[in-house]
Amino acid sequence: MSKTIKLRKGLDIKLVGEADKVKTDAGNSPVYAIKPPDFHGLTPKMTVKVGDKVKAGSTIFINKYQEEVTFASPVSGEVAEIVRGDKRRILEVRIKADSDITFEDKGAKDPASMSAEEVKTYMLSNGLWPFIKMRPLDVIARPGDSPKAIFISAFDSAPLAPDYDFILHGENENFQAGIDALSKLTEGKIHLTTRGGSNPDSTFTGAQNVQRNTIKGKHPAGNVGTQIHHIDPVNKGEVVWTVNAQDVALIGKVFKTGKFDVSKVIAVTGSEVKNPKYIKARVGMQIAAVLEDNVSQENVRFISGNVLTGEKVEADGYLGFYDSQVTVIPEGDDPKFMITKGWLSPGFSKFSNSRAYFSWLMPNKKYELDTNLNGEVRAFVVTGEMEKVFPFDIYPMHLTKAVMYNDIDLMENLGIYEVAPEDFALCEFVCTSKIDIQEVIRGGLDVIEKECM
């Protein structure tokens, strides 16, 4: 039975630079990269070496501790470089792309007529499995688990987030094929959650074999963790899987065509983008190709993802595996005169959730915010600001502190199994103490994985 949820807590951060509803093709990217750090907890084991020729869909590395989980090349070409960091940790596998992409023939399949084991084997061997993540832990799903449900969020409520209705327009058949494949992997329900008041003619309204839910409210309404908490919470010993809506259509397309085509539509957003728009790109594409001649100044921050949870990348960096958005905002390291732009200014151009500036009188104003913290890390004090934006029946400050002093029993009692770092992004944004809460929660989940699972 479908559910309708109305959130009372949350926060919408309105920024300048929303993408226009126009799709264009990205420029040519000579090099693509798959980044093992995109997959938290992964220890890659290479199956290719520098100089090897690969096709789109060829396995380039596997999970050392779950060798059935494979990671495929997004393009055809030559393995150009394996970038390593401290202790020879693999950071990137770079592939010099061919001008014309050739694909490995995976064999087209109809997931509706396949068994659960056949679907799982197909996805594992063809590089599709990493698109499925699990709660708790927020890591790649374990193939041996039996999830009680699979959750798909049909919208993103983060600042300047892409519109999945627009992105997936015309992808109904691929999306349904992806749903059919995922439905074979659980004996529970496939939960598809849309925003209340959304387009009645969207790709999602016609989806079959799903339980459609609606949710109303401010960000993080679009976070799958928020939806899981209010629809079917995760308890200790239970597992839920999650898949991004665009990745569901991508999975379906691979089943229908037999080609590992990881082209996707991403939103190019931010106040420093001259022409915010949607572009057709591929997983692992160079940011420079995505933003070619489309940035208004030099001193900017490039973010693969959104401003709350995305990863800082350089101009010659690469699009993250799970990202459907690139954001460009001012770096914010320029000096500010205290009376005009500093702490003594009236703050009409500054955003504040606590009404510290007069900008609260303009609720519909869009802001050009930069990366400046406007302060330094300080004592972790109780302000009540986190509780105003955290729509879980969980005490966010208590849980964060329990993680910081490594009290596993208290972490479990306070709900660590239900959360992921992205669920605390708003808490981090409003935190008076400037604590990197998402990193703290990630550390807590790592402890739980090591000690309790």
Give the burial class of 185: count Cβ atoms within 10 A of its Cβ; 0-12 exposed, 13-18 middle, 19 or more buried: buried
The answer to whether 215 touches 230, Cβ cutoff 8 Å, is: yes
State the pLDDT at residue 198.
67
The answer to whether 417 touches 148, Cβ cutoff 8 Å, is: no
Give the fold, CATH level 3, of 27-97: OB fold (Dihydrolipoamide Acetyltransferase, E2P) (2.40.50)
**What are the backbone angles phi and psi of residue 211, rounded to the nearest 5°?**
-100, 115
Q: Which two tokens stand for residue 316?
A: 């010659």
Q: Which two tokens stand for residue 429?
A: 């944004």
What residues pair up with 151 in beta bridges, in sequence order? 191, 242
State the pLDDT at residue 200.
63
Q: Which two tokens stand for residue 291?
A: 């933003």
Alpha-carbon Rg for the chain in angstroms: 22
Q: Is residue 243 helix, strand or coil?
A: coil
The angle that helices 172-183 and 245-257 make with each other, rounded to 10 degrees, is 90
List, as one string, the DSSP characters of 283-323.
Answer: TTBBHHHHTTT-BS-SSEEEEES-TTT-EEE-TT-B--TT-
State the pLDDT at residue 339.
65
Q: For the segment 19-55, what is each residue's pLDDT rounded down to a tens digit?
A: 999 999 987 899 999 999 999 999 999 999 999 999 9
The answer to whether 332 touches 374, Cβ cutoff 8 Å, is: no
**What are the backbone angles phi and psi of residue 87, rounded to the nearest 5°?**
55, 30
Q: Which residues contact 268 (CB under 8 A, 6 or more apart)?
A: 19, 276, 277, 278, 279, 290, 291, 294, 325, 326, 328
Buried b (16+ CB within 10 A) or exposed e, 223-233: bbbbbbbbbbe
The angle that helices 437-452 and 396-404 make with each other, rounded to 10 degrees, is 60
Which residues of the chain are under the pLDDT cut of 50?
none
State the pLDDT at residue 351.
82
Q: Where are the domains of the chain?
A: 27-97, 385-452
The answer to whether 358 touches 20, Cβ cutoff 8 Å, is: no
Compute CA distances 379 → 208, 252, 253, 271, 372, whole Å.
51, 49, 50, 32, 19
State the pLDDT at residue 344.
64
Q: What distance in Å separates the CA atoms of residue 54 and residue 78, rounded to the nearest whole number?
A: 6
The whole-model pTM stands at 0.94
Q: For the segment 130-154, what is each residue's pLDDT rounded down to a tens digit?
A: 999 999 999 999 999 999 999 999 9
Q: What distance in Å separates the CA atoms of residue 391 and residue 151, rounded to the nearest whole number?
A: 18
State the pLDDT at residue 422.
97
Q: What distance in Å separates the CA atoms of residue 16 and residue 269, rounded to the nearest whole number?
A: 9
Sheet holding 240-242, edge to edge: 4-6, 211-216, 189-195, 149-153, 240-242, 133-135, 139-140
The answer to whether 434 touches 377, Cβ cutoff 8 Å, is: yes
- Can you say how many angstroms the Cα of residue 184 is from the centroid of all Cα atoms in its chain? 24
DSSP code of 368?
Answer: -
